[in-house]
């Protein structure tokens, strides 16, 4: 299959925080890969803007090092790297000061697509937005990209939305949730709405329950101080997992159009039931294998922040009444895996005697590693031994099915940045979506705080706290094994 790369219009992109970790690991390498693929015209202008004193050549050297480290050798071509670096420049700027802004104005054009990537702490969003206008740099057609975390509760998210809305309208604001840029996440929509096969069954009548798992092997060592202020609920559930849940649960939009899709996602968030305390298990990993536990990594010996969470949530609407969604995510678990498993109900009547061999149909959508889908179906066990049943996977790895192109799935950031340039907001969160998600999350967190709830300890490298198993066992269900 031949990959289709459609070049975007020439653009100007200013990356505030252009010397930071995210810029070096994701944004610069992602832009380079799109340039290498022929998607970025050579007369585009990419400006790094940050506090460090540096000139264009200094920034190009930083970018070259980032490409060397984060782009695979098969895409590193000296001539292409040089041509890419020629599009790069740098302006030293203080988001809170006055220096550098007029220099930036002289570097960007008004007659091309203009985007400003705020890859800085959210506390600087307002300062940058204000100065972009005060110095007449941004105009009505400019776009801004903002990073997570988008608030830490409803009030702070509303405040951030308010700050941005002073200078930009909603159609100009691209709130990144990089999960939405993942190939398989978008495939969820293709699978549901471009096939006749699944959608008629996509409801409580046929689906017993849904499991969404995002498991990580990494601990918070090295960034414990930051993580401790957040925790799994804020860091993962309120944004990434909520987005996955929405894509599974939403009604078909009338068109694959940004607002049509986001309207449907918003309706799902609004239909989420409040979660009862007994339907949530929080965990904190313990010390083991010569490594410190969460409390050592967070440096706060009394921290009650969770590095693991499992919860059950119901969606109160016609489609989903009676089908619980179970979500779990955690750090320092036994394997790194993200998947969505949709478990179908039993046939209404079995004509076979072999009840032991029967298992539910499960559609597993793997986000990582090895993006793909797996449909567990019942067949007859091969051989002459009578009518015995067995379950087999209809396994589709996108990398295998799509050949070279499937093996070369663009990183989420690459895709999302190109969407910003194309002006397509479908894969970005709208302000009301983010606020609705916090509206659901806030009372849960406030409940823990009011009760002084402490997370349960779990062994590093395990599947999480024992109590999380009970969350499903008591409903007569089981979590899927966490494995790569």
Nearest to 134 by CA among 161, 162, 100: 100
Specify the DSSP class assigned to residue 346: P
One character per residue 273-312, x = contact with ligand NAD (rule: CB under 6 A): ----------------------------------------
Q: How many CB atoms lie within 10 A of CB 347?
A: 12
Euclidean distance between CA atoms 222 and 294, whole angstroms: 11
Whose tokens are 């995210």? That residue is: 22
Task: Produce one character per residue of 450-461: b if its CB has 16 or more CB atoms within 10 Å, e if not.
Answer: eeeeebbbbbbe
Among candidate residues 209, 240, 297, 332, the one labeled active-site is 240
Give the start-end residues of each E strand in 201-247.
Answer: 207-215
Handedness of CA 350, 352, 358, 364 (dihedral sign): negative
Whether 216 has a binding-site annotation, put simply, is: yes
By CB under 6 A, name the one of 10, 39, 51, 191 that touches ligand NAD: 51
Q: What is the largest CA-CA distance in the chain?
A: 82
Nearest to 16 by CA among 51, 41, 43: 51
Q: Which is nearer to ligand NAD, 50 or 275 (CB)?
A: 50
Q: By three-state DSSP, how is residue 39 classified?
A: coil
CB of 94 to ligand NAD, least distance (A): 5
Structure tokens at 451: 């009760």
Of all residues in the shown chain, the one whose CB is closest to ligand NAD is 20
479, 463 in Cβ contact below 8 A? yes
CB of 384 to ligand NAD, least distance (A): 57
CB of 134 to ligand NAD, least distance (A): 15
Q: Which stretch binds ligand NAD (CB under 6 A): 12-20, 280-288, 289-297, 420-428?
A: 12-20
Q: Interface with ligand NAD includes 240 (CB under 6 A)?
A: no
Residue 240 annotated in active site: yes
Handedness of CA 242, 243, 245, 246 (dihedral sign): positive
Q: Of residues 14-33, which lie at the interface with ligand NAD (CB under 6 A)? A: 16-23
- Provide the CA 399 distance to its chain's centre, in angstroms: 20
Structure tokens at 39: 């998607």
Whether 178 has a binding-site annotation, put simply, is: yes
Q: Of residues 404-423, which lie at the interface with ligand NAD (CB under 6 A)? A: none
One character per residue 306-335, x = contact with ligand NAD (rule: CB under 6 A): ------------------------------
Whether 282 has a binding-site annotation, put simply, is: no
Q: Of residues 69-128, which lie at the interface with ligand NAD (CB under 6 A)? A: 93-96, 119-122, 124
CB of 121 to ligand NAD, least distance (A): 5
Euclidean distance between CA atoms 422 and 414, whole angstroms: 12
Q: Which is nearer to ligand NAD, 147 or 208 (CB)?
A: 147
Q: Which is nearer to ligand NAD, 21 or 449 (CB)?
A: 21
CB of 217 to ligand NAD, least distance (A): 17
Q: Interface with ligand NAD includes 52 (CB under 6 A)?
A: yes
Q: List residues near ligand NAD by CB under 6 A.
A: 16-23, 50-52, 93-96, 119-122, 124, 147-149
Tell me the catalytic residues: 240
């Amino acid at each position: 299959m031949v990959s289709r790369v459609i070049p975007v219009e020439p653009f100007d992109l200013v990356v505030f925080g252009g010397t930071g970790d995210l810029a070096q690991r994701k944004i610069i390498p992602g832009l380079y890969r799109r340039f290498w693929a022929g998607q970025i015209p050579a007369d585009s202008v990419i400006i790094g803007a940050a506090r460090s004193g540096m000139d264009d050549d200094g920034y190009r050297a930083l970018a070259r090092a980032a490409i060397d480290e984060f782009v695979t050798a098969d895409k590193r071509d000296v001539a292409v790297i040089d041509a890419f670096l020629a599009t790069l420049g740098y302006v030293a700027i203080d988001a809170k000061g006055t220096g550098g802004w007029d220099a930036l104005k002289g570097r960007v054009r008004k007659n091309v697509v203009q985007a400003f990537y705020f890859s800085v702490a959210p506390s600087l969003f307002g300062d940058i937005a204000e100065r972009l206008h005060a110095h007449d740099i941004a105009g009505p057609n400019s776009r801004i990209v903002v990073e997570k975390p988008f608030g830490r509760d409803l009030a702070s998210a509303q405040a951030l939305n308010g700050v941005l809305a002073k200078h930009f309208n909603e159609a100009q604001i691209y709130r990144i949730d990089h999960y939405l840029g993942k190939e398989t996440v978008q495939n969820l929509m293709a699978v549901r709405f471009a096939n006749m096969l699944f959608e008629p069954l996509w409801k409580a009548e046929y689906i017993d329950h849904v499991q969404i798992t995002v498991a990580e092997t990494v601990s918070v060592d090295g960034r414990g101080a930051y993580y401790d202020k957040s925790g799994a609920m804020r860091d993962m559930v309120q944004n990434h997992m909520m987005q996955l849940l929405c894509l599974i649960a939403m009604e078909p939009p009338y068109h694959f159009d940004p607002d049509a899709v986001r309207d449907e996602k918003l309706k799902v968030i609004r239909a989420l039931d409040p979660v009862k305390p007994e339907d949530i298990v929080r965990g904190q990993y313990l010390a083991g294998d010569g490594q410190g536990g969460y409390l050592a990594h967070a440096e706060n010996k009394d921290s009650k922040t969770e590095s693991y969470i499992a919860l059950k949530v119901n969606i109160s609407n016609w489609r989903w009444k009676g089908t619980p969604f179970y979500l779990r995510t955690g750090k320092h678990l036994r394997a790194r895996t993200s998947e969505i498993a949709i478990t179908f109900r039993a046939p209404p009547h079995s004509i076979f005697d072999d009840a032991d061999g029967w298992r539910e149909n499960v559609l597993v959508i793997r986000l990582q590693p090895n993006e793909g889908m797996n449909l567990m179906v019942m067949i007859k066990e091969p051989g002459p031994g009578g009518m015995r049943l067995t379950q087999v996977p209809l396994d589709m790895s996108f990398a295998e099915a799509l050949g070279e192109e499937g093996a070369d799935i663009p990183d989420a950031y690459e895709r999302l940045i190109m969407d910003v340039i194309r002006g397509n907001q479908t894969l970005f969160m709208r302000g009301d979506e983010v606020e609705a998600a916090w509206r659901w999350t806030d009372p849960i967190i406030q409940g823990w705080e009011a009760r002084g709830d402490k997370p349960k300890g779990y062994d590093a490298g395990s599947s999480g706290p024992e109590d999380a198993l009970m969350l499903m066992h008591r409903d007569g269900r089981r979590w899927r094994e966490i494995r790569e």
